Amino acid sequence: MRVHVADHPLITHKLTVLRDQSTSSPMFRALVEELMTLLAYEGTRGVRVDEVTVQTPVSLARGVKISDPKPLVVPILRAGLGMLEGMVKLLPTAEVGFLGMARNEETLQPTTYAERLPDDLSDRQCFVLDPMLATGGSLIAAIEFLFDRGAVDVTAICILAAPEGLAAVEKALAGREVTIVLGAVDERLDEHGYIVPGLGDAGDRLYGLV
């Protein structure tokens, strides 16, 4: 498993505003989308491409185009939905599948309540989007779900992670073809499984309390 922390100053700047509890929900949504576009730039470094040749007005030029089958982007509902637009801005030809997961706030165990994905993911390159990697339970379950469907190459893009969750993902998915791209790794988890200092509940800040 590879982990890449994209600690670019623009990312850190936007992340700082995102963390601020006085940031409004419309601003929070806009920042998540912008951060996603910056993280997508890092997260798609390994996107599969084929070599092509095009005719410029002057001569032939060698280049690349994104391979078929196109990448599959999988936002984890709810909070991952806030990242989707930022991702498809950079990868407009990607297909999108959905996984709905909710973490039980007492046990911290995730349950999957919705799924809309192709039955066969063999040979598909998948990009999972979820802003928060806290205990890691949701991300591990999501990636295992994709592997069970045949995926072999998964990149997860998260805005924030806790060291405990990152270690759990590394342990659970050791030896698999997984890349994790992060905006930052925070200090720790608190006793409620929240990232410290974190940004609070990403789903609630994007879409309101449930």
Shortest Cβ 199–ligand URA spacing (Å):
7
Residues of this chain that interact with ligand URA (CB under 6 A) are 79, 132, 134, 193-195, 198, 201-203
Strand 49-55, strand 60-66: pairing: antiparallel
Q: Which of 103, 124, 149, 205 is catalytic?
A: 103
**C-alpha closest to that of 27 among 38, 16, 41:** 16
Q: Per rule CB under 6 A, is residue 165 in the interface with ligand PRP?
A: yes
Are 146 and 154 contacting, i.e. CB atoms less than 8 angstroms apart?
Answer: yes
Number of C-alpha atoms within 13 angstroms, CB side, residue 19? 15
Q: How far apart are CA 178 and CA 174, in angstroms?
A: 9
- Residue 15 vs 121, nearer CB to ligand URA: 15
Annotated catalytic residue within 19, 37, 112, 201: 201
Instruction: Supply the minimum distance, in Å, between the C-beta of residue 75 and ligand URA.
Output: 14
Supply the minimum distance, in Å, between the C-beta of residue 67 and ligand PRP: 29
Instruction: Spell out the residues 6+ positions from residue 22 whose beta carbon is closer than 8 angstroms to its own.
Output: none
Whole-angstrom distance, CA of residue 43 vs CA of residue 38: 9
Residue closer to ligand URA, measured from CB, 125 or 135: 135
Specify whether 119 is catalytic.
no
Give me 12's structure tokens.
Answer: 């850190």
| Rounded-to-integer distance, Cα 132 and Cα 127, Å | 15
- From the list 12, 93, 107, 111, the catalytic residue is 107
Determine whether 204 is an active site residue. Answer: yes
The site partner of 29 among ligand PRP, ligand URA, none (C-beta below 5 to 8 Å per kind) is none
Q: 10 or 196: whose CB is closer to ligand URA?
A: 196
CB of 133 to ligand URA, least distance (A): 8
d(CA 122, CA 146): 9
Q: Tell me how far apart the alpha carbons of residues 20 and 120 are, in angstroms, rounded to a whole number.
A: 41
What are residue 152's phi and psi, to 5 degrees?
-125, -10
Instruction: From 35-43, 65-73, 134-142, 144-152, give the range in contact with ligand PRP by CB under 6 A.
Output: 134-142
> Which sequence positions are flagged as catalytic?
103, 107, 201, 204
Binding-site annotation, residues for uracil: 195, 200-202
Binding-site annotation, residues: 78, 103, 130-138, 195, 200-202
